[in-house]
Amino acid sequence: MSEKSFNNVPKVIAIDGPAASGKSTIGTLISNQLGYICLDTGIMYRAVAFQALKEGIDVFNEEAVSQLAERVQIDILPAEHEDNRQFTVLIEGEDHTWDIRTPAVNQVVSEVSVYPRVRTAMTDLQRKIGEKGNIVMIGRDIGTVVLPDADLKIYLDASVEVRAQRRYIEDLSRGKKVSYDEVLESLRHRDQIDSGRAVAPLKPADDAIIVDSDKMTVYEVVEHVLRLIQQK
């Protein structure tokens, strides 16, 4: 991917899409090109889910999980270790960057994220960060709820089968023992919850540009999004 020169580019870029659509990878590469901060908001919900499991809180107990979200300390810092992480996630001062990616967290993060008070707590934090500008913010409701006035909104999509294959390969590269069918079923489950929740359901913003990456490489998607940024 070649170096590019940008003038008068959007200061706030929202990238939404379903699980394993490549949002984090694309957002990170785009932010690197622009010299922007990249914030994957999904990690905040993962952090809440992880901490609930750690503390033995029933993730189906809305009140308990909501109270946790309103008190837990979550910090997102630049990557501190060379282990392919894109950032460091501190929960209550401890590094849990990879712990929030475990299958146990995968199974409950969507349930946790549907609770209104959890979403309010995380949305407030995300908006404060986004208001500073020069940011690529990634999630499932950035363009529709968190930053509805974002200068550019991208909805990154792909079929569930393609997303499952990508996540399966990623998990194997990290030494996880999973099957493709398990990953596929997990993503289908998450898609159903994310799209069907009453609060901030997963859907493209009315003014979002939809990018279908089924037949595109990572770098082809990045080049396409960079062109959209230059045209904005």
The tens digit of pLDDT for each residue in 68-93 reads: 999 999 988 877 777 877 778 999 99
Question: At residue 199, what is the residue type?
Answer: V
Domains of the chain, first to last: 12-231 (3.40.50.300)
What count of Cα atoms within 13 Å lies in the side-chain half-sphere of residue 23? Answer: 28
Nearest to 92 by CA among 139, 48, 40: 48
Write b or e for each residue in 23-49: b if 16 or more Cβ atoms lie within 10 A of its Cβ, otherwise e: bbbbbbbbbebbebbbbbbbbbbbbbb
Distance of alpha carbon 72 from the chain centroid: 19
For 94-146, write each residue's pLDDT tens digit.
Answer: 999 999 999 899 899 989 998 999 999 999 989 988 888 999 999 999 999 99
If one compares 49 and 40, the residue with the highest pLDDT of the two is 49
pLDDT band at 2; cut points 50, 70, 90:
very low
What SS3 state is found at 159? coil
For 161-208, write each residue's pLDDT tens digit.
Answer: 999 999 999 889 988 889 999 999 999 999 999 999 888 899 999 999
Structure tokens at 222: 């990045």
Alpha-carbon torsion (62, 66, 72, 77), positive or negative = positive
> What's the CA gap between 15 and 136, in Å, rounded?
7
